[in-house]
Structure 1
Amino acid sequence: MSVLKIALVVIFLIIVAIVLFLNYLGLFSKIVIEEKEMGPYVLVYEDHKGDYKGTRKIQDNIYNILLNEYGIETFKGFGVYYDDPKKVSKEELRSIAGCILEEADYNNIEKLKENNLKVKETSKQQCIVVEFPFKNAFSVFIGIMKVYPEINKFVEKNGLKQKEIMEVYDVLAKKIIYIMNYIDE
């Protein structure tokens, strides 16, 4: 076999591997938008101002505090993003991030509050919901590129007023759940 043929086979195999990896991450996943009730949730969180990429460290920090100081293991991290990064500078973006308590740990809510952790209880609400595969950090970036434009189209098409968006990173179910409360205009 000539060097050229070997090089072409190697290039072809690399391209196939990249396509398969991107498929695994969800690049070719169909975006399905549903309207359904979500919640209630108990959020343990910290406020964040600045680039949204800083929320990952907050989630990890809250997870470690809950696990190491309180013996509470959580399986869902979250971020609530209040501002549109296309309209607000990175330094001014507002969000909260942390972990969602499992129902079995609700008896610890008061103890967490007494120890100066921020705890917020949300009610069940009608929401726009999209589920996306969560394999690793690349899935988060692909989800942002694919999901947000579809949510924006849905909001505009249905005459809704967009509010904050919550991203739930469900480790056990291996999915990111995008949840947007909305107001009919």
Structure 2
Amino acid sequence: MSTAILWGIAILFLLLCLTIISLLFYSGLLYPIEFKAGKPPVGSLQIAYKFGRGQYSDVGEYFGEVGKLVPSAYRSFGMYYDDPEKVPSGKQRYAVGTILSEGDAEPDKELMEKLESNGYKFHNIPEVTNMVHTTFPNKSFLSIIIGMQRVYPAFGTYIEETGLSAHPCFEIYDNDLIYFMAPLAKQSEFYVPEAKEKQQDPETESLSLDGSLDEDNSGVDGSGSSSGEDSGSSFEELDASQVTEEEDEEVEEEVKDEGSV
């Protein structure tokens, strides 16, 4: 093989490496992750969803399906209810779908009928004053992979350091950004009806992010809001009770002085 050919191969390889590195940086490899506890970037939402119980790696097909059914301007979302480190594959709960409307806006009735005919259900998510939240760039298919690998470890660290009880994990995919959020109040209302169904298998009990089993939810009140001590859980199974205004005020007091990481 001639020297010129070898040089050509070497240059092509170098260009390929530079392209991959550039794509990784562009996709958020070194993007600063800053979690905050406070007012989230969204208000009340009406969503269309499909519920699943399996492994989180299965959600891609759900996102692909809803992406084919709704206009590109619509935001898709994923809601994750269990700690994948503790709840085994095949038993992890999630809901995936699209946001139909926000605030007082009226949803598109024809789109709702189309989604309903394709097996989607509807749910209302309330506006909350406090969420743990951050953003990550949505620039390429790699952004999702990199975001998952970088954001959730940082989320776990933030929860451990602050002692907050934030759950479930809620992702919204906008044009250029991925919003990672977890509510600190009215948490039971983020659970679609199927996610609240009790499981007989003890392996599906709620688990905290740090790996401990929250059998009595001693650090969380009936709504899932922090009650003061040792409330570091981020994945908790909830009952159907609503969060009261007084509990919302307690959460506001708890997080108003929280900084960011």
Same fold by TM-score greater than 0.5: yes
Output the CA distance in 1 between the equivalents of 2:27 and 2:73: 23
Q: Distance in 2 between matches of 1:145 and 1:35?
A: 21
Partner of 2:97: 98
Conserved? CA contact 1:44–1:62, under 8 Å: no
SS at match of 1:96: strand
Of 143, 146, 151, the match for 2:150: 146
Aligned counterparts of 2:32 and 2:116: Cα–Cα separation in 1? 44
What is the DSSP-based 3-state SS (H/G/I as helix, E as strand, rest coil) of the residue aligned with 1:135? coil
Structure-1-length-normalised TM-score: 0.81
**1:18-167 to 2 correspondence within 5 Å?**
18-38=20-40, 39-65=43-69, 67=70, 75-103=74-102, 104-106=105-107, 108=109, 112=113, 117-125=120-128, 126-167=130-171
How far apart, in 2, do the equivalents of 1:96 and 1:48 lie? 6
2:34 and 2:12 map into 1 onto residues whose CA distance is: 36
Is the 2:133–2:182 contact (alpha carbons within 8 Å) kept by the matching residues of 1? Answer: yes
Specify whether residues 90 and 137 from structure 1 end up closer, same or farther in structure 2 by C-alpha distance, changes over 3 A only: farther
Distance in structure 2 (CA, Å) of the matches to 1:73 and 1:138 = 19
Which structure would you say has the larger Rg? 2
Distance in 1 (CA, whole Å) between partners of 2:116 and 2:158 is 41
Identity of aligned residues (%): 25
Segment of structure 1 superposing worse, 100-109 or 77-86: 100-109
Aligned residue pairs, count: 177
Higher helix proportion: 1
How many angstroms does 1:28 deviate by?
1.3
Equivalents in 1 of 2:59, 2:94: separation in Å?
8
- How far, CA to CA, are the matches of 2:58 and 2:73 in structure 1? 20
Which amino acid in 1 is paired with 2:144? V
Task: Give the gaps of 5 or more residues in structure 1.
Answer: none
Q: Do the aligned partners of residues 145 and 73 (structure 1) sit closer, same or farther apart at CA in structure 2, a change above 3 Å counting?
A: closer
Query: Helix, strand or coil for the counterpart of 1:160?
Result: coil
SS for the counterpart of 1:16 is helix
TM-score under structure 2 length normalisation: 0.59
Q: In the TM superposition, what whole-angstrom CA distance separates every residue of 1:37-90 from its partner, at most 9, and x where no partner exists?
A: 23211110011011113223223434544x4xxxx7652101100011111111
Alpha-carbon distance change, 77 to 8 in structure 1, aligned in 2, over 3 angstroms:
same
**Distance of aligned partners of 1:145 and 1:117 in 2 relative to their CA distance in 1, 3 Å threshold:** closer
Q: How far did residue 19 of structure 1 move?
A: 1.2
